[in-house]
Structure 1
Amino acid sequence: MGEPVTTGTKRSKTGKAPPPKKAKGTKQPANKPKVKSRRPTAPPMHHDSDDVQERVEDRNVVPDDVSDGNEMDLSDNGVDSYGEDEGEVADGADFEETAMKFHEQMQRMQKEATEEQKRDIKSRTAKLTPISDAEREEQVLLLGQQHTAEELKDRISEAVHVLSNFKDEREEGRTRDDYLQLLRTDIMELYGYNDFLTDAILLLFSPTEAIEFLEAMEKPRPTTIRVNTIKAKRRDLVQALVKRGMNVEPLEKWSKVGLQIFESNVPISGTVEYLAGHYMLQSAVSFLPVMALAPQPQERVLDMAAAPGGKTTYIAQLMKNTGVIFANDISAPRIKSLNANLQRLGVTNSIVTNYDGVGYEKVMRNFDRVLLDAPCTGTGIISRDKSIKTSKQYEDVQRASQLQRALLLSAIDALRVGGYLVYSTCSFLVEENEAVVDFALHRRDVTIVETGLPFGRPGLAKYRHHRFNDKLQHARRLFPHVHNMDGFFVCKLKKLSNEASGAKAPLEEDDNNEKGTRKGGAVKGSVRGKRPREGGDVQKGAKATGRRSRISVPPPTKKVTNIKAKSA
């Protein structure tokens, strides 16, 4: 007879067939020693992840997600890493069990290698390596893509952490400018701001607060409405809106007419109550200029830039529809929306005019109160208009600042002696806020008074190397990351006389040096020089000096800390 044929023989990974099975009932001699495997055991788990990946691929093992477990050492049982022992004969059940253990071991190796690779990538990502803009652009061209949002957030977080404790946390050989430059470029890439606004934000805030500000700008502001008390009461309006499917609550204790809408089953501007003029869809921050103005019944008030009428109608309801409001706007198309809102909300004490605000004092003057919500770059409402991130440049701020200065001087000239003026913008830039008001303080006989607002950060009396009037601390700044409102600035002025004050002290002078006796429309005292004039020839007989700009954020430079003021 020929040799017996064994069926169902399984081959090992080496290609050799295992020895034939023993007949049932055959016992292994008790004194036969085990033959240890001459093959190497499985490699330790600390090898490089790429090496582990190659080993797994060589064995054609497909990794799966398996539960974590301690590494199993199969060599203790005399079984080599390939699933069998050459010195012994294993039955089919033992072979399958060994193969399964080997498969599970390879899966664990693959999983641990993947986790190790992720940790390595994260550590290399978090490690700060400041690079120039040219190097970053070159990397983008070579790789075809920029960093992921997660990578950028890690880098920004690490940079902020180092800058907050630079002495102890910095890497050897790295300067503060290196970290600021890295933070600057990563902010531009992650949040989408242009270099000019990025520099302006980093100049205004600390690195930690700058990130908080940027994150808040990415979120929408709460939806708010103002109850029109000329036609309705807040309690009755709330009940009506709730019946229509709105989730409405009172805004805050500081406002008796504000409501916040959390959700609505109907369009907010499509209800019967809205069409009847019972409320105005208006951001909460725009309540503040009117609250600071505090108009009284029977007064004569000017709203110099009134359209679309949110603030004008609020003034009217505080005046209880008495006295007279001159609602002016230079834009004829916007006048239409202004008229529509005045009519819808039942305002009967207003006169609408269509004049340029610059020179309005030549048309009408001697107002008890003037509100100038000045045209601006809108950097405080980026959460509502993302295009501002890249559309506003240094030149736009300069043009806005020049217009704001001219408008503010005209507004002061239209005010009676002893009257009050509120200047506001929806911008966080100093060039459109403190710098404009400080300019007017050196051109007109006015002083800053308390706004009466219950919250808000003080205005800036110091900004970089510039010094403003100390009373600018009475102004109020609103920020999204602090007050959950749009970025805003509010300042209240009181007119002391009709005299011009063209020779007051420069920025560096303190309040004591600004005091003196008036003669010929000028303030005399301890004066080191005249302030440069930049409001244009808005005052009759005034002459432009043509001097350098007193303050500005210049075109962007490579490093934030090296930014210098440039001429307008």
Structure 2
Amino acid sequence: MGRRAKNKQGPPQPFVGLRDATAKHSGNATVQKTGKASAAKRKLGALDDTESITKGRAKKFKHEQPQKKNQSGSGITHENENEDSSDSESEHNALDKEFKATPLHSSKKDLFEAESSEGSSSHSEDLTDQFGHKVQTLDLSDSEDQASHDDDIQNETLSESSGSEDDIVTARNMEKRSGALDRQARREQEEDFEETMQSMQKDQEGSEMMDVDVDIEGFRLPTAAEREEESRNGGTDLATIQRRIRGCTRVLNRFSKLAEPGRSRSEYVSQIIADIAYNYGYNEFLTERLFQLFNVNEAIEFFEANETPRPVTIRANTLRTRRRDLAQALVNRGVNLEPIGKWSKEGLQVFESSVPIGATPEYLAGHYMLQAASSFLPVIALDPKPNERILDMASAPGGKTTYISAMMQNTGVVFANDATKARTKSLSANVHRLGCKNVIVCNYDGREFPKVLGGFDRVLLDAPCSGTGVISKDPSVKINKSERDFTLLSHLQKQLILCAIDSVDPKKASVVVYSTCSVMPEENEAVVAYALRKRSHVKIVPSGLEFGKEGLSNFRGKHFGDSLKLARRFYPHVHNMDGFFVAKLLVERRQKMETATEGSHPTELAGFIDDEHGELLDASRGALTFDAEEDARYMEAERRKRLKAKGYRVRPQKSVDTVV
């Protein structure tokens, strides 16, 4: 070993001076009673961390030379002293930088692991011991109860050595920990929900069986004798009826698994029809006819929807204003509304209003018309153009007529006809209020119109019907309809649609739109199919309506033809509007029809059932033509009946002309 290395002085101990300075500062704080217990704890942690770092660095030099030497007797030259001093200063600066770079709040566990990685395993034991000793010997607290603070400091030190900083709840990390707990709770809820949904989806069949068993526990289909006894007693309570409806619905949906042994499906159907009629106030005939239109669940939804009124809708009159301006004016008056939908450019749906919606200045000025959303549909399907000649065969109270006039921009001419003279008063009033100058109001029976006036470009027939689509507006329909009513209405509608087809201009292709506020097939698809059979130059075309369900191509053994799928049906429980039916017919030129008839092409109606005679049509019979004699007899009978109703004396007909 050389002379310089042998006589080299060991590195100074910067920790001693730093600790003395810190202790001196802490002593002053203790005397002045201005320090806080939390500040003392932070200082304690910083000093312990610094001491551990310094001890680790100092132990590296112990194997070269003893830590303490007598500098006066070393015999070192001035040059060597400068070199030793520079080495000591560099080592001191390195330790100082490391001390400053080390956070004061670093845990002792991290420092211990860092020292262990350098290979000083013996120092790790001293470090652990030093923690305990230093905590007990340092006096940085200004509290009166010294023993209590010593215990607190020791507990805090032990907690720091057993975990990281995030494990200690402080004012700084409290919000972070709270947010983490909230996120964890939300994550657990989402996982629980997903697990529940997966379990329900996986065991759907078993769950449904369990639900059925719980819901209809104790449900038993009444026998015929029990039903008679219940009828004699005036029925049962509504709770029992509703529970029985739910039970029958579940059984009919899963009949093979839930039906009672020996009970047929027709028994359950008969029971649920009787219960629906009792619960909702229908007669059993109409209940059965409506029930047959849907499956079991949808039928219940239909009956429930009829108990709820439809939304209030208005139509902006584009002859006097724009929808945006009208909406703004009504909003300023306290009306809550929004556009009715993308399918209508004029409709607005009213949710609530602080003023009567039918008595505002805008209403009286003709800026809008109170009109059901379903009444927009036939006019949209008709698609009137400016300068055309149009007939509205049943126009009162004028919602569709004024809509047609607005779409024509007050050009051309619109003949607004209604068979009831009293209703033409409200029709005329609405026409004047909305500023329709191209409307002519007339009072004729629609079946006389081909003789009165013809040659129209478009004809709209909103035929009289049973009103089974507007039960929410007219609850009397529930009890005052019978089989005879449907038969008479269907016959009248067939006459009217033929007259509407004959009223168009025969020299060019024209459009006829047939609509009803009924959902019964005998008033809708059956009537259109009859017109297609009677007028071979007529065909059904797409209505242009973007929504709605397809028309029925067959119903309970009656085949109407696949082309009837182009018609559109609307239901209250599906579209949140009145039940409605719309079909658009294209009437081709008569010359083209005659040319097609002369050809050898078979009729498209081959294989269909004729509603009038119940016979199967054959292609060899060719196209069906208009039977003027048969229709004339019916029209004459109706004319005589109308004259009798007005009080006129009508001569009796001969037996040959009597309508059977």
TM-score (norm 2): 0.58
Residue 432 (1) aligns with residue 539 (2): no
Match of 1:458 in 2: 550
The answer to whether the 8 Å contact 2:534/2:625 transfers is no
Match of 2:222 in 1: 130
Radius of gyration: which is bigger? Answer: 2
Match of 2:619 in 1: 526
Distance 1:353 1:312 in 2: 12
Equivalent of 2:249, from 160, 165, 171? 160
Distance 1:478 1:152 in 2: 29
The answer to whether the 8 Å contact 1:304/1:372 transfers is yes
The answer to whether the 8 Å contact 1:514/1:527 transfers is no
Cα–Cα, structure 1 residues 425 and 539, in superposed 2: closer, same or farther, change >3 Å? same
Distance 1:512 1:165 in 2: 39
Could you say what the CA RMSD is over the residues aligned between the two structures, in angstroms?
2.9
Residue 511 (1) aligns with residue 599 (2): no
Higher relative contact order (CA 8 A, sep 6+): 1
Distance 2:327 2:215 in 1: 54
Structure 2 alignment gaps of length 5 or more? 1-213, 609-616, 638-659
Residue 449 (1) aligns with residue 541 (2): yes
Cα–Cα, structure 1 residues 344 and 497, in superposed 2: closer, same or farther, change >3 Å? same
Equivalent of 2:434, from 345, 367, 372? 345
Q: Once the 2 structures are TM-superposed, how far is the Cα of residue 239 of structure 1 from its aligned partner? A: 1.1
Distance 2:620 2:281 in 1: 45
The letter for the 2-side match of 1:435 is: A
Distance 2:564 2:245 in 1: 33
Residue 327 (1) aligns with residue 419 (2): no
Match of 2:577 in 1: 485
- Counterparts of 1:173-184 in structure 2 under 5 Å? 173-184=262-273
CA displacement, residues 296-315 of structure 1 (integer Å, 9 cap, x when unaligned): 00110000001110000000
Q: Once the 2 structures are TM-superposed, how far is the Cα of residue 511 of structure 1 from its aligned partner? A: 3.4
Match of 2:322 in 1: 233
CA displacement, residues 478-510 of structure 1 (integer Å, 9 cap, x when unaligned): 001110111100000011244899xx9xxxx99
The answer to whether the 8 Å contact 2:391/2:458 transfers is yes
Distance 1:279 1:199 in 2: 40
Distance 1:255 1:342 in 2: 21
Distance 2:226 2:621 in 1: 47
Equivalent of 1:208, from 297, 300, 309? 297
Distance 1:256 1:126 in 2: 54
Cα–Cα, structure 1 residues 473 and 124, in superposed 2: closer, same or farther, change >3 Å? closer
Distance 1:352 1:192 in 2: 39
Structure 2 SS opposite 1:298:
coil
The letter for the 2-side match of 1:138 is: E
Equivalent of 1:191, from 266, 280, 294? 280
Structure having the larger proportion of residues in helix: 2
Q: Once the 2 structures are TM-superposed, how far is the Cα of residue 224 of structure 1 from its aligned partner? A: 0.3
Cα–Cα, structure 1 residues 398 and 535, in superposed 2: closer, same or farther, change >3 Å? farther
Q: Once the 2 structures are TM-superposed, how far is the Cα of residue 125 of structure 1 from its aligned partner? A: 8.0
Structure 1 SS opposite 2:458:
strand
Residue 422 (1) aligns with residue 513 (2): yes
Match of 1:305 in 2: 394
Structure 2 SS opposite 1:378:
coil
The letter for the 2-side match of 1:262 is: F
Cα–Cα, structure 1 residues 392 and 125, in superposed 2: closer, same or farther, change >3 Å? farther
The letter for the 2-side match of 1:480 is: P
| % identical aligned pairs | 51
Distance 1:421 1:532 in 2: 18
Residue 147 (1) aligns with residue 248 (2): no
- Counterparts of 1:375-386 in structure 2 under 5 Å? 375-386=464-475
Residue 261 (1) aligns with residue 353 (2): no
The answer to whether the 8 Å contact 2:540/2:563 transfers is yes
The answer to whether the 8 Å contact 2:417/2:444 transfers is yes
Match of 2:587 in 1: 495
Residue 538 (1) aligns with residue 631 (2): yes
Residue 221 (1) aligns with residue 272 (2): no
Q: Once the 2 structures are TM-superposed, how far is the Cα of residue 147 of structure 1 from its aligned partner? A: 2.6
The answer to whether the 8 Å contact 1:379/1:427 transfers is yes
The answer to whether the 8 Å contact 2:533/2:605 transfers is no
Structure 1 alignment gaps of length 5 or more? 1-121, 516-523, 545-567
Structure 2 SS opposite 1:179:
helix
CA displacement, residues 145-193 of structure 1 (integer Å, 9 cap, x when unaligned): 5332222221111111111121112111111111111111111111111
Cα–Cα, structure 1 residues 482 and 327, in superposed 2: closer, same or farther, change >3 Å? same
Cα–Cα, structure 1 residues 541 and 175, in superposed 2: closer, same or farther, change >3 Å? closer
